[in-house]
Structure formats: C-alpha cells, structure tokens
Amino acid sequence: MAKKRSTAARSGARPAARPAPNTDHQPDAGSAGPSHKRHWLWSAVRIAVLAAAAATAYIARDSPVLGLSSRADDPPKQPSQNIGFMAQVLQKSRGQNICKPEGFVSDTYSDFDSIEALNHRVARPLDKLVHTKFFRTLKVDLYKPCQFWRTEGSCFQRDCIVQPLDASEVPAAWCAQTIDQNSFGPFLRPEYTDRDFAVVNDETYGDGVWLDLVENPERFTGYAGAGANAVWMSIYQDNCFGVAPYLQDTAGGWGSQLVNVDDKTMPFVQPPHKRRELTPFLESLAEEDHGVTLPADVPREYRVFYRAVSGLHASVSTHICAEYFNATSNQWEPNLGCFISRIGAFPDRLQNMYFNFVLLTRAIQKMEPYIAAYDYTTGATKDDRAVKRLIPKVLKVVNRAGLMFDDSELFLGPSGRALKAEFKDNFRNISRIMDCTGCEKCRLWGKTQTLGLATALKALFSYPDRAFRGRFTSLDFKRNEVVALITTYFQFSRSLDAIEMFRGMYQNIVTDWRASQASLLPEK
C-alpha cells in the first residue's frame, strides 16, 4: 500500500528554489566577443540538459512500463487527468463569462457538461416514474447469508433497518407462484443464466422481502467500521482484474466516514477559499499515484468493469453526503466536507459516476422498444396511467441524446468470448458480495443497484440490437431487472444533481470569502 505523503507535500510546500544564475558579468547587448559567445553556448547547453531531464521525468512519471511512482520529496508535478477533471467540475460556473470546461469522460463520446444537460432533461420525468407503484415496489432477498467471510452481525440502528411492505400492498400476479425451492432437491432453478451478469432473484418464487424503495431511501445510516468497508475492499481486491494499482485505506463503505478501516479518526476536510488553490489542494488530498489508476495496456473491457464498480461506489458515497445526518442540528442535510473527503481523495470516482450514467443511458436506448412495450399494470389506476405517460417521455429524451457509448467496440477478436465470460463471473461475484453488508438498507441499495448495472450490461453485451425489435421472443428480463435498471438510472441522476449542488456550495464558499476580503479593504 502506498505511503502517505509528507507533511510538506500535503500542505503544498515547494522544494527550495535553485540558486539564481550568476549575474556578476552581464555583457551589453552589442557585445559579440568570445566571452559572450561562450556564455551563450553554455546557457544553451544547460537549457537543453534541463529540458531533456524534464522530459525524461515526465515520461517516467506516467509510464506503466517504467512503473515509477512519485515520492514525498519529489518536486510538484502537473495535476493528473482525474484531479483536473474534478477541479473543472467543481469550478464550472453557470451564466458567467468564463472559460467553459470541457472535461471529456474517458471511454465515452461525451463530456460532463453534455451529460449534465441530458440529466436536466430526464431527471424530472424519471423522478416521477420511480414514485409509481410499479417502480417503487421490489422484492429483495435481504437475508441471504454471506458466502465469503463470517460477518459481524447486523446493524440495528434505526436508519439501518428497512420497513417491509404488507403482503396486501403487492399485486397478486407478482407473487402468486411462491414456492419452497428446498423441496425440489437437486432440481433448483439456477441463480442465473448464461446471459446474466448478476445473481437474479426471481420475484415469483423463493425467499425475499417486498419493499417500497421510496420509503427506504439510500442515505447516511450510521453503519460504519471494518464490516462496512470489507465489502468494497473485497470487490476491488478480488474482482477488478488488478486494474486499481492502489487500494485506498480510508473508509469506503456506507455509513460514517469519520472512521477508517483501521478505526482511526478521519475528520472531514473543507476545500480552500481561493479558486487557484483548488487543484493543488485536490492534488495533495488525492491518494492515487498521480492519476495512473488504469495502466494503458489494460484491456478496455477491464476498464469498463472498473469504471462501473468505481462509479457505483462513488454514487453511494455521494448519496450519503447529500443526505447526511447532522447530529448537532438533528437534520438531514448536504455535507460538502463529506463529499470532498470521500470523492476528492479518489477523483477517478467522480468521472466514473458520469461514465455509469452514460452506460445506463446507452442500455436504455438499446432496450427502448422492449421498455416501451412492457406491461406495467399494477391495478392502481392513477399510477398505471402515470407510467403510460412517463415512459415515452423518458425514452424520448434518452434517444435524443445520441450515441454516447458504443458497446459494439467491446469483446471483439479471438479473446472476446473469454473476456466476456470472465467479466460476467466477476460481476456476479460482486452481486453475491452485497449479501455480506451488515446494514439492511445498505444491502437493499447495494443489491438493487448492482442488479441495475448488471441488467444494463446484459442488454448491451448478451443480446444483439435485433433482439430488441419484433416480438422479443429471445429476451429474458425479469420484472425486478426492469425495476432495478430504471431505479439505478434514477440513482445516478440523483448523484449528478448532488454534484451540481455541491458545486454551488463550493462556489458560495469562494464568493463569500471574496466578499469578506473586499470588506477589509480601506474605503477610498
């Protein structure tokens, strides 16, 4: 695990400046004697040597072949792409004549500004859609035992516990086939098919609890400690193909971020007041090896996998910080320090949230005919009418976004089939790891959003485009997969809304500081 940077590096201190050049002898501009020529030649040689050294250091810094990493006593380097991206996102100002940041999202055909614009158009109908009976009702196997390690037990704090639905509130058609699988011996229905990217718990039989997702929102629960972080640690260490060269030791699960995995206190941090100090601040805060989070020789399929997992992790963190419980005021409120601490230290996660929104957008575009024709009947007349009105609105906005991600570029060539099989196995494993979360509400949202991403991956990589045209006879999507897909899309929409909210909070800090400084100036 990489060492922490020195105090000087964290505070942004610069190494001692080189001595100023000798100015004892300064020939005049018209001098053309031998002494002046020798001085000019010697200066040229020094400049060439320094330029070559600088170029070598720059290449070595970013070269996955050389594998060099920065040390605490190295001179400051240019901010990484990930840190630059986060600085652009936080510093973007609306309605002001400033340079507009581009901030392209890696492995997509879009930039964060265009993605936010799409979210502005889709967020409102999507919000209304997930509040209808069809999309807010889901059956989840919350009490499936963890297969990987012995858990420490469940979190029994008030905000960890879910409130199940009464059976009378669930349409009979969704649960009419409930059976005891144990009575079938070796002929149990498999947990997944070859096309699935996750374990899919069919709602029509087996174990599970019916839940109202709106009544059990994803937010801060107080769930913390080693058990909360073991889930993400296991996901990154054992299932991400080794593409993350450094696994951070700061808290990475749900719940309180005031405790690291080693139980040491980690207070929240606040961004600087001055805009010009933001990038150096993020650089010193970041626990990444100067942005080399994904070596250049890693297959694109592995990068997509890592971005999907990292983006989910970041989205969970963002929801927690956006609805953080302030024990002092006894109110749920956004916590900018929480967001900066959780995302600022790992700026690749910010970009990966945008990536996941693009991935889900592309999956919904591909599934558009199927989603449009799906039967959303629940028996609740008002909600059923709302779904018929809202589904076309969402699909229309999504389709107008154009191609933001091209799934046809992945899993090609002779190794494509083997890569896809490995991809599926690892993502299924992640869906199982979610059973190890000790907080009921965290497990609910971990399983739901993992299934949502897995449904998107299934649509993109298990079926050709033609399968979503005609009578859909080859398609196999369960009701809970459709619900999870749309719900997860909404969760990432919420995350992008929260990013804009945190951006506004940061810009208010900058504005207030400038105003306070102006008030200190003497009156003329």
Catalytically annotated residue among 321, 338, 436, 442: 442
Indicate the residue type of 407. Answer: D
Catalytically annotated residue among 155, 321, 436, 439: 439
Q: Give the residue carrying structure tokens 């069919």.
A: 202
How would you class 31 by CB atoms within 10 Å of its CB: exposed for 0-12, middle for 13-18, buried for 19 or more? exposed
Q: Are strands 209-212 and 137-140 parallel, antiparallel or unpaired?
A: antiparallel
The span from the CA of 128 to the CA of 154, in Å, is 33
Total Cβ atoms within 10 A of residue 159: 17
DSSP, collapsed to helix, strand or coil, labels residue 522 as coil
Assess whether 442 carries a catalytic annotation: yes
CA 197 to chain centre: 19
| CA max distance for the chain | 102
Closest CA to 4 of 248, 310, 329, 356: 248
Please, which residues have CB within 8 angstroms of residue 484's CB and are 6 or more apart in sequence? 138, 448, 449, 451, 452, 455
Total Cβ atoms within 10 A of residue 109: 14
The span from the CA of 335 to the CA of 318, in Å, is 10
Q: Which residues are catalytic?
A: 439, 442
